[in-house]
Structure 1
Amino acid sequence: MALSTLRTETDRFVDADGRQILLRGVNLGGDSKVPFPNGGTQYPGDFSNHREVSFVGRPFPLDEADQHLARLRHWGFNCIRLITTWEAIEYAGPGRYDREYLDYFEAICRKAGEFDLYVIVDFHQDVWSRATGGDGAPMWLFEATGLDYRAFDEADAAHVMQYRYDYDDAEARQAGYPQMSWHINYRLPANGIMWTLFWAGQIVTPEFLIDGVNVQTFLQGHFFGAVEQVALRVAGLAHVIGFDILNEPGMGWVGQPLSTIPSGAVVHGPVVTPLAALGMARGLPTPIRVKDTLSSEGAEQTFNRAARSIWREGVECPFERAGAYRVEDGRIEPLNDRVFDTVDGRPLDIANDVLAPFFAEAAQRIRQVRENWLVFCELDPFSVYTGARFPAAMPSNWVNANHWYDLSILVTKTFNPDVSIDVLTGDRIEGPVELRKRYILGLSLVKSLATASSGNVPTLIGEFGIPFDLNGGGAYADWAAGNKNAFELHAMALELMYEALDSLLLCSTQWNYSAGNRNDLRIGDQWNQEDLSIFSVDQIGNSRNLDAGGRAIEGFARPYARATQGVLKSQNFDRQSGQFLVEYHANPNIDAPTEIVLPAAQFGSDIAITCSDQASRYEVDATGNVVRIWASSSGLVRVACQRYRREEEKAALGTGTAVDQLPSIVHFAARIDS
């Protein structure tokens, strides 16, 4: 049966039948940030072919789509956050759209619907572009704005793996490109310049024109033009439910004083003021304090020792022309310290002055193509920790799509369930119970952003997950040696995260599934040595089993109520005992069943299900590992699903268990074939 469009109803997603829909999915995929087939950061390069690349084949070649999508469905997911980039669509030049890629992207979206997967189109970026250490924007934009990306590395204006990594060195981990260091680009000159022009060119550089329009209008106009190209292609696919309009947006220097770091800023690595960054961009050697940790004072280093300007010959810095600073006798002097944080003589409000018109424009652009699309919105992820909120005025049917990670796992690539240190606060967390509580607090903070505007809207945690190269990639060697439990530590970490998601009934899309991932510290997801993919080709072997290639499957292939005939109240899964409990308030006026997903990885083929007497009938979909239950009257419904895997487990269940303690129960046992 074809999936319907979804709408928002207070803090829930609702389908055409009126059922609450819980989205549990995955990002597809991490390697979609780079061109196909050899655009990954494991290959050296200088980006000189940026007008000749192709992203056709990301996330995977079309003839491989069935096997990958079937695997995701087998694991129980009902949603994908499908990655695309502005560069993938418009890499060749202004208005020169890659029609072959758009055909391909539409075909992948269509395929996802064949496997009953909702699609959220994610316009992805990290630290602006590949030439500035990440992905996202096409590189001809540097030429348009007067920058020479070929000078970025020498001027220390960007921290890019292809320039900092020694590909001839046998060591995968190198001091020149430390693990998880790409994010420092947000504070370096190239990112600061581009994001500031993108968000506030009209405010800060009103006389900077490109093709007769202000630079902000030029940049955002081309961005939304690329968005529209995708929207036109997928408008007829009901299961494409909306657009995550801009992944983890950097704000550049917008809202910051020119010559100081704002108090409370979360900084480690180079501590760069906008003024210092502008001096570096002009070719001035600049002393910068570099912090090894969030709490350290750091040591001073000189950046741009080469005295290389990143402005193209004959181009004047637009911020200097606008009166922000001047250069005298080889020194940069501030002229307007409030240039980035005031507008019309008052403090600039990022949420309402900058983001509100952007989100409004996003909604208008996609809804002129299809009016019922949802708009998934994100804030600068670092700003969430310092009190950032969404604008007071947001488009209708918007979704809070911010991200959450355990930063201690993400940054250090280690995990100890018994002892964890919060890298933001320094707090020591002892034991998995306390760690789960900390996860609930962190996710609750993200969820609270959904109430920033009038009313209440759904939250979808657009990204969360763990590195699979924990502890130096020890699991890879264990797996190669035949240890089938090599990823149990990873499963434990994911289990705690999903338990926190369940406690808050949050929708989520885990980061990520990369079809080209390798169990190799140098490669990983093919982007900056990140390795968060739940799949790796190195774990397929010769098996035709759909689980082949999966990493820590028991941690993420979990049961959940994907559709509820009413309002979902709670769900809880105990992996050790194999029991899944669901409670919901039934609405018999909804003429469609509650659907509970019971992945084969957790439940095998023998399952006992008990349900309170509100349920009049049920059916089992053995092919999809789904139980459907129709409630006959309103009221609280309780459902318990119990895994049987061994004869001794059946005998141990006996009487007096949680299953049998449900009031007024009707027992039915069902076999579901894996």
Structure 2
Amino acid sequence: MIRIEGANFIDEAGRTVMLRGVNLGGSSKMPYTPMQYSHVKEGFLDIHKKISFVGRPFPLAEADSHFKRLQHWGFNTLRLITTWEAIAPHAPDQYDDAYLEYLHALVRKAGEYGFWIFIDPHQDVWSRFSGGDGAPAWTFEAAGLDIDHFHETGAALVHNLHGDPFPRMAWTTNYGKLACATMFTLFFGGRTFAPSLKVGDQNIQDFLQEHFIAAMQQVAQRLQGLPQVIGYDTFNEPSAGWIGNSNLLQNDFPVKKGVILSPFEAMVAGSGHSLEVPLWDFGLLGAKKVGKTTLNPKGLKAWMSGKKCVWKQHGVWEDNAQGVPVLLNPTYFSTVNGQPVNFIQQYFLPFIERYAQAIRSIDPQAIIFLEPPVLQAPPQIDPKILPNVVNASHWYDAMTLFTKKYNPWLGYSFKDKKMLLGKAAILRSFIDQMNHHKQESATLLHQAPTLLGEVGIPMDMHEGKAYKTGNFKRQNLALDRTLQAIEANLLHFTLWNYTADNTNERGDQWNGEDLSIFSPDQQKNPADLNSGGRALEALLRPYPVATAGKPVLLEYNWKTKVFRFTFEHQPSARAYTEIYIPSYQYPYGIEVSLTDGSFQIEKVTQRLVYFHTSELTQHTITIRPK
């Protein structure tokens, strides 16, 4: 087991552990039976059919081959993806026992390969039926929403219904659309903003949170007692919905692509009004209007028959005598009882505390990997109420992710809201952006560790040219730039992602994304653990798995393959320092330079074991290829 001590993870020998892992896996967002990938339209809206996630991220029969590969690649941590829909696909209190048993068997098998695991209740834009993944269809029904008409009313942009080609990264715009924004507003703030919306005797907020937490407790109960399970993520990339929104006439989402509606327009269109709206595109110079379209020309409603828009019901807007929609309360979501709304402290934190308490009622030692909304800071916590937490924020190279192109000279910082020019400036900014997460951990989470829960690059950049040529140079350059920034900050991370059924044509099988570090389409020799890997030249790099002290400096040059690591030893560490040395990078062996002490090589486990002396305070290990 590992424990938290200040900003570090500590193993049973008192050593500082560095967590390096992957998200497993990208296609776990969608059912395995039937194979309902995001591009498959047939049967998508038939919510009464039996679905199963048994087999996500891969069938148990294939587990050894994948775990063996990930172990060979030096990873020691898995952020294991599950979803609310996978656990309770058909009804609030009906759990898929076969899936829970599968999950237990999978985690038990992963433990045989030495992985630490934390469970991620994944979601993107609430649900598959609102253009992402996560929540089951019955959550919409509880709120009175009709998934059959989301597409026509602009309530959601869904790949399964939109068809191909699907606009790049357009799924993210669903965070501002009616279905997703409404559900998150109700999930976190239903008691405040929709007090009359109830399911039975429960307010919708309590209904949703209670059943989400109960589903995750089912997972915790099945995995109880497995020492490789170190903790639980809170809720992947949560959204405030419209809580805190002070301008219902404008959509401030940073990425504008396709139909972009203000909250008021989204409410109006979802209630059966036709609207003429602009079409947007997003490029290197930002967002621009590129045309117009008529939304919801048939006058359909996103609400179930006999149900009224919940926001109309609560006085946010109405139709006047002439039938024209009128906004009545523009500050409805931003001001409560005359006071400004603080989503993070007033709505998000209470949920996190409730969730953590529920998980720890089953697993008292569980680490809580606290994940704030994207581009937001975590809450200010009370460590007496919420101890043993990790800042599990996400970070991506924004320019490369959204354009699917690697540009060594041009980048973007969401933190500073500015373009970055020049190689050195981009790397400095990446380091600074990641360091900002560390500072938030120190000031808001009381010196908690920082683990980037997601970080990665699109492998299909430049129209998938590498798949035709076999040359992943640009992917290597992009990935190395990110990993350099991580190493400069001595950060932990779980890379997005490893998808066992990735293909060159469909990527991770979800909304056109393709970030997997493995694909069967790159696999020429199944007997070779490296075959099928992508951008391995930059990905596979030495790192200190366990350090008998405090890491000070970590550097690796993927071109020269020179690795340098400095640490300060601590008497409390009762074992040697252990460094992963990928044989892929050093096929002819290594040359090792030490400031002091001795070492030995363990070829089978690809480890360098270093024994420091007490003569020096700091110790440096330098490794070069022979």
| TM score, norm. by length of structure 2 | 0.94
Q: Does 1:344 align with 2:337?
A: yes
Structure 1 residue 373 displacement after superposition? 0.8
How far apart are the structure 1 equivalents of 2:29 and 2:70? Answer: 20
Aligned to 1:648: none
- Structure 2's unaligned 5+ residue stretches are none
Q: Is the 8 A contact 2:142 2:204 kept in 1?
A: no
Q: Is the 8 A contact 1:403 1:461 kept in 2?
A: yes
Q: Is the 8 A contact 1:389 1:452 kept in 2?
A: no
Structure 1 residue 370 displacement after superposition? 1.2
Aligned to 1:626: 607
How far apart are the structure 1 equivalents of 2:287 and 2:381? Answer: 37
Structure 1 residue 454 displacement after superposition? 5.5
Q: Describe the shift of the 1:548–1:456 C-alpha distance in structure 2 as closer, same or farther (beyond 3 A).
A: same
Structure 1 residue 422 displacement after superposition? 2.4
Which of 192, 214, 218 pairs up with 1:229? 218
Specify the code of the residue in structure 2 equivalent to 1:628. Answer: V
Q: Is the 8 A contact 1:17 1:590 kept in 2?
A: yes
How far apart are the structure 1 equivalents of 2:15 and 2:141? Answer: 50
Structure 1 residue 428 displacement after superposition? 4.5
Q: How many residue pairs align between the two structures?
A: 614
Aligned to 1:465: 456
Aligned to 1:536: 519
Deviation string 1:195-222 (CA, Å, 9 cap, x unpaired) is 1111110000112110210000000111
* 1:67-216 map, 5 Å: 67-166=65-164, 174=165, 177-216=166-205
Q: Percent identity?
A: 37
Deviation string 1:390-441 (CA, Å, 9 cap, x unpaired) is 2343611111111111111111111132x2242854524223x333222212
Q: Is the 8 A contact 1:31 1:526 kept in 2?
A: yes
Structure 1 residue 123 displacement after superposition? 0.7
Specify the code of the residue in structure 1 equivalent to 2:210. Answer: G
SS at match of 2:152: coil
How far apart are the structure 2 equivalents of 1:93 and 1:258? Answer: 36
Aligned to 2:465: 474
Deviation string 1:558-587 (CA, Å, 9 cap, x unpaired) is 110111111111111122222211111111
Runs of 4+ in 1 over 6 A off after TM superposition: none
Q: Which moved more, 1:180-189 or 1:583-592?
A: 583-592
How far apart are the structure 2 equivalents of 1:148 and 1:457? Answer: 42
Aligned to 1:649: none
Which of 38, 43, 50 pairs up with 1:41? 38
Which of 265, 281, 302 pairs up with 1:276? 265
How far apart are the structure 1 equivalents of 2:158 and 2:413? Answer: 24
How far apart are the structure 1 equivalents of 2:483 and 2:107? Answer: 26
Structure 1 residue 553 displacement after superposition? 0.8
Q: Is the 8 A contact 1:14 1:20 kept in 2?
A: yes
Aligned to 1:27: 23
Aligned to 2:492: 507
Q: Describe the shift of the 1:345–1:642 C-alpha distance in structure 2 as closer, same or farther (beyond 3 A).
A: same
Structure 1 residue 447 displacement after superposition? 2.7
Q: Does 1:60 align with 2:53?
A: no
Aligned to 2:240: 251
Deviation string 1:124-149 (CA, Å, 9 cap, x unpaired) is 00011111111000011111211110
Aligned to 1:436: 427
Aligned to 1:422: 412
Specify the code of the residue in structure 2 equivalent to 1:594. Answer: T
SS at match of 2:516: coil
Specify the code of the residue in structure 1 equivalent to 2:67. Answer: L
SS at match of 1:153: helix
Aligned to 1:363: 356
Which of 558, 583, 587 pairs up with 2:541? 558
SS at match of 1:371: coil
Specify the code of the residue in structure 2 equivalent to 1:406. Answer: D
Aligned to 1:549: 532
SS at match of 1:623: coil
Deviation string 1:597-654 (CA, Å, 9 cap, x unpaired) is 11112122412222222x3x5443221101122334271111112221xxxxxxxxxx
Which of 415, 425, 441 pairs up with 1:450? 441
How far apart are the structure 2 equivalents of 1:94 and 1:471? Answer: 43
Q: Describe the shift of the 1:454–1:228 C-alpha distance in structure 2 as closer, same or farther (beyond 3 A).
A: closer
The alignment's C-alpha RMSD in Å is 1.9
How far apart are the structure 1 equivalents of 2:198 and 2:47? Answer: 27
Q: Is the 8 A contact 2:152 2:295 kept in 1?
A: no
How far apart are the structure 2 equivalents of 1:260 and 1:393? Answer: 36
Q: Does 1:600 align with 2:600?
A: no
Q: Is the 8 A contact 2:154 2:266 kept in 1?
A: no
How far apart are the structure 1 equivalents of 2:562 and 2:150? Answer: 55
Structure 1 residue 557 displacement after superposition? 1.0
Structure 1 residue 492 displacement after superposition? 1.4
- Structure 1's unaligned 5+ residue stretches are 167-173, 480-485, 645-674
How far apart are the structure 2 equivalents of 1:540 and 1:345? Answer: 61
Specify the code of the residue in structure 1 equivalent to 2:256. Answer: H
SS at match of 1:602: coil
Structure 1 residue 93 displacement after superposition? 0.8
Which of 1, 4, 18 pairs up with 1:8? 4
Structure 1 residue 190 displacement after superposition? 0.8
Specify the code of the residue in structure 2 equivalent to 1:161. Answer: H
How far apart are the structure 2 equivalents of 1:105 and 1:160? Answer: 28
